[in-house]
A = this chain, B = another copy of it.
Amino acid sequence: MRRDALTVVLISPRNPLNIGAAARALSNFGFDDLRVVNPYEKAFHEAVSAVGGAAVLRAARSFDSVAEAVADCHTVVGTTAIGNRHLEHPLHGLEAAGGLIRGAPGKTALLFGSEKFGLSREDIAHCHWLTRIPTGDQTPSMNLGQAVAVTLYELIRDPGQPLPAPDRRKPVSGSDAEQLTVMLLDVLEASGYTNRIVATSTGRKVRQFVRRMALTARDAPLLLGILRQILWKIRQGG
């Protein structure tokens, strides 16, 4: 696959050694875009010596939120060790995920959760779908650096098989999806909808809903225009 079409995002990694190991895996398989959201150790760049991954580690960027980290990505894929917890998201085995990611237009972000807790429900709300490494039931959870290595290997290995025809419509970018989310939340609040249900879960639900809609880049301005108009109308009338 095109090596600049993938970014690896580590969310709240606790152990700088694992960030280094992830950087090395990227370098091993020819990728270079590593992003970190809220690492436990801010100075992870300098602290860790990643044999063979030093350049990737030095260039790694730190973000305060998942939304910012995936803003320029068109597809967001979450990795999980647990198969059936998140029924609202499509779940693909890693073998199938490899084909889907290789065929995806634009840039794809691969999200890895923290060593201890994996991805949170809030993190997963940013995802279009999830993938799972086929580990056994006895020890499903992998070491972070090893999980990154296995996933990237699946992406670059010779697939040998004809791929399903990719969907050529350009999906909405991460920043557009987030802008839509925020504006829809504004509309929900202005219309009095948000008050009716628990407010904290609304953000997550709406975020997930917007990703699930499979919007194209063409849909974004249309929908933003609609929401802007609704907001204007409600505020004018209220």
A215 CA / B213 CA spacing, docked (Å): 6
**A200-238 at interface with B (beta carbon < 8 Å):** 205, 209, 212-216, 218-219, 222, 225-226, 229-230, 232-234, 236-238
Chain B residues, CB < 8 A from A229? 188, 191-193, 196
Contacts of A52 in B (CB 8 A): 139, 141
Q: How far is the CA of A88 from the CA of B218 in the complex (A)?
A: 9
How many whole Å from A237's CB to the nearest CB in chain B? 2
B187 A51 Cβ-Cβ under 8 A: no
A226 touches B193 (CB 8 A): yes
Q: Which residues of B contact A99 (CB under 8 A)?
A: 162, 164
- In the assembled complex, the CB of A129 is this many whole angstroms from the nearest CB of chain B, namely 9
Question: Contacts of A142 on B, CB cut-off 8 Å?
Answer: 24-25, 28, 149
Known A-B contacts A90-B167, A93-B165, A96-B165; A158 and B143 likewise in contact (beta carbons under 8 Å): no
A236 to chain B, nearest CB (A): 7
B156 close to A134 (CB less than 8 A): yes
**A167 CA to B154 CA, complexed, in Å:** 21
A166 to chain B, nearest CB (A): 9
CA distance in complex: A25, B139 (Å): 9
**B145 contacts A157, CB within 8 Å?**
no
Q: Are B92 and A165 in contact, with the CB atoms below 8 A?
A: yes
**Chain B residues, Cβ within 8 Å of A212:** 214, 216, 219
Q: Is the CB of A30 within 8 A of B136?
A: yes
Q: How far is the CA of A141 from the CA of B53 in the complex (A)?
A: 10
Q: How far is the CB of A37 from chain B (nearest CB, A)?
A: 22
- Is the CB–CB distance between A28 and B214 below 8 Å? no
A161 within 8 A of B: yes
- Interface flag for A29 (CB, 8 Å): yes
Q: Which 10 A-B pairs have the closest CB atoms?
A: A237-B237, A146-B149, A95-B162, A27-B139, A191-B233, A30-B136, A96-B164, A52-B139, A193-B229, A214-B214
> Can you give 7 contacting A-B residue pairs, CB < 8 Å?
A25-B146, A27-B136, A27-B138, A52-B139, A52-B141, A94-B157, A149-B149
